[in-house]
Structure formats: structure tokens, C-alpha cells
Amino acid sequence: MKDSKYFNSNIRLRRLRKNAATRDLATETRLHTKNLVWPLFILEGENQRQEVKSMPGVEKLSLNLIIKEAKEAHELGIPGLALFPVIPDNKKDKKASESKNPNGLMQTAIKELKKEVPEIVLFTDVAMDPYSTDGQDGLVENGEILNDETLPILAEMALAQAKAGADFIAPSDMMDHRIGYIRQALDAQGFTNTGIMSYAAKYASAFYGPFRDALDSAPNGDKKTYQMNPANSKEALSEVSIDINEGADIVMVKPALAYLDIISLVKTNVNIPVAAYNVSGEYAMLKLLAKNNLANEKEIVLESLTAMKRAGADLIFTYFAKDVAEWLKS
Ligand code: PBG
């Protein structure tokens, strides 16, 4: 073929796609098991197992079963776990009092996991919603989610988790200035080596539905006065820069799939690791496509997670972690 004024026939991008080995060599982004953090839902009791109906394949498990899963995850090479406790209604109140109980479910889980699988990195959720009768991440008074009054509650929760042995406190509540407040509280008690992973750019998203179902934590009303407006991207940079100034070690963008532009923007603007949360609704969406034979599960999951990494995510929180670790072995 000869050149026309419209193209240069020397250039043929298909040369780099001609077979699997060449495509491998020309691959820009490679998903790795070491990028993954696996979120787990913890139940009270022993040998308890409840499937999360809205998330096919995900189960809430009591601690003895969680430990078994954590050992398997570790053996598969998954470096981190994110812990979410399922708190029974009779332990919920307006002030999330149970969250600071040194022998509460979360704190017990942290201690046991650190004893049984010491190498695994524990990210522990800090927010009032699993413990709150209002299902909100902050303290509610006359329908308003109070900011500054919520901070001491979050700090006490964070301290209880740090004392139990958490590696990274992970505030997911989106109150203003909670990173600085928690950092100070941790340092004042000598927990200078406990990290903070901030859910810095967390959007008020409809993709959290199955998670709220799993924790039975659906809020009274919505979370739009603290979680971000999905229409905004510059604001994400304000959120992450404030959190970094206040001492965050890692910043997260959440959800992931519909927010790849935000992951990319944040990655090019910060010098610390960026995490992406492949949230419950994204998980359910892909599972349902696969279950209905509308997509190959392995292909659609690997494509989605690779896209998150390509966008700039260093850590990826995903309910698919164990499946991905198995797939990436072969
Ligand atoms: C709440 C919290 C949520 C998730 C993690 N922490 C839900 C919410 O903000 O209502 C969502 C995770 C998911 O959907 O997988 N603090």
C-alpha cells in the first residue's frame, strides 16, 4: 500500500497486537495480586455464615471463619484486608457507643487476626454508620449531621482500633478535618506508627446499595451533606490535599469504575499512594452480567480492575480479590 495524503503506511499499530507474546511485551499496565485489598464483613458468634443476597458469592462470616479466609488470602499473596463489622441492632445507638468497646467485634477481630496472620495489613473502617441507629456516618441532631461533634467519636473509635493493632485506620465518614483530628489523637497516645488511609474523595453514590444491605446500615435520608457530589472533580483535589496536609498516608477514590477520571486526576496531583474502591454495586453489576451469561466473569473483572490500575490506582479494594489472586496465578 502506498502513502496517500491521508496516512503514512509505515505506521502499523497492529504489529504490536499480532500474537499473545507480543501483546504481553507491549502491555503497559499489569494487574498484580499485590495491588489488592480484600474487604470482609464480620459477624458475631462462632461458625456463623450468612450470604449477602445482593452480592452473590460474598458471605458475612464470624471471626473463626474470617481467620480461615484471611490465612487463605495471605497464602494467595493478598497483602491487605479491610474490615467491616456487622453490629446487631441491640448494640446500636445514636452515638455509636459500641465502636469504642475494647472487646467489641471489630477490636476483637483486629487482635485475633494480628495474632493468627500477623503479616497481613489491616485497614479498619472508621465511621459511625455500622453502629448508629441513624445509619449515618456522623452524629445526627434534629436531622442535621454534625461535623465537629462527630470528630471525638471517630477519634475514640480510631484509638480503640489502633490499640487492638490496626495497621491503617480508614476513615470513610467524610466529615471535614477528621484526618487531622484522628492523627493528633493517635499521636497523643503514642500510636505514631499507625497509618491513616483516608477515604478522601468519596462520592454520594448509588453504587453502595448492596453494602448497606450487607451491614443493614441504610441511612435515614441520604449522605449528600458530607459525601461528594458526583458531578465534581476539582473538589476531589481539595479533599485529597486537605487530607494529605492533615497527615493521611494513603488517599482513596470511591467508587472506582464510574470515577476513573477522578483516580487519574488524583494520581497525577499527589505524591502518596492512591487507592480505589471497587464498591459493592460494581461487584454486583459484574456478577449479575456473568451469572446471566452476558459476560465472561474472569475477563470482565480483570478488564475492570486493570482499568482502575491504568487510571492510576496503586491499591485496589475489591470483593473479587481472592478470585483475582487465583486467576493471576495461572
Ligand atoms: C460507610 C461505608 C460505605 C462503604 C464503605 N464504608 C457505604 C456508605 O458510605 O454508605 C461502601 C462500600 C461498598 O459499597 O462496597 N462508612
Confirm whether 94 is domain-assigned. Answer: yes
Helix (H) or strand (E) holding 306: helix 297-311
Confirm whether 232 is domain-assigned. Answer: yes
**Burial of residue 198, with CB atoms counted within 10 A of its CB: 0-12 exposed, 13-18 middle, 19 or more buried:** buried
Determine the distance separating the centroid of ligand 1 and the alpha carbon of 129, expressed in angstroms. 9
Confirm whether 177 is domain-assigned. Answer: yes
Determine the distance separating the centroid of ligand 1 and the alpha carbon of 12, expressed in angstroms. 46
Contact 126, 163 (CB under 8 A): no
Q: What is the rounded CA–CA span in Å between residue 260 and residue 283?
A: 16
Q: What's the confidence (pLDDT) of residue 99?
A: 98
Q: Domain count of the chain?
A: 1
- For the Cβ of 194 lying below 6 angstroms from any atom of ligand 1, the answer is no
Would the pLDDT of 251 be above 90?
Answer: yes
Helix (H) or strand (E) holding 125: strand 121-126
Q: What is the pLDDT of residues 116-157, one digit of tens each?
A: 999 999 999 999 999 999 999 999 999 999 999 999 999 999
CATH number, position 249: 3.20.20.70
Chain mean pLDDT for the chain: 96
- For the Cβ of 137 lying below 6 angstroms from any atom of ligand 1, the answer is yes
Confirm whether 108 is domain-assigned. Answer: yes
Q: What is the rounded CA–CA span in Å between residue 243 and residue 309?
A: 22
Confirm whether 304 is domain-assigned. Answer: yes
Lowest mean pLDDT among 94-108, 209-223, 229-243, 271-285: 209-223
Peptide bond just before 219 cis, omega within 30 deg: no
**C-alpha to C-alpha distances, 78 to 37, 282, 316, nearest whole angstrom:** 7, 20, 11
Mean pLDDT of 47-71: 97
| Structural domain for 308, as ranges | 32-329
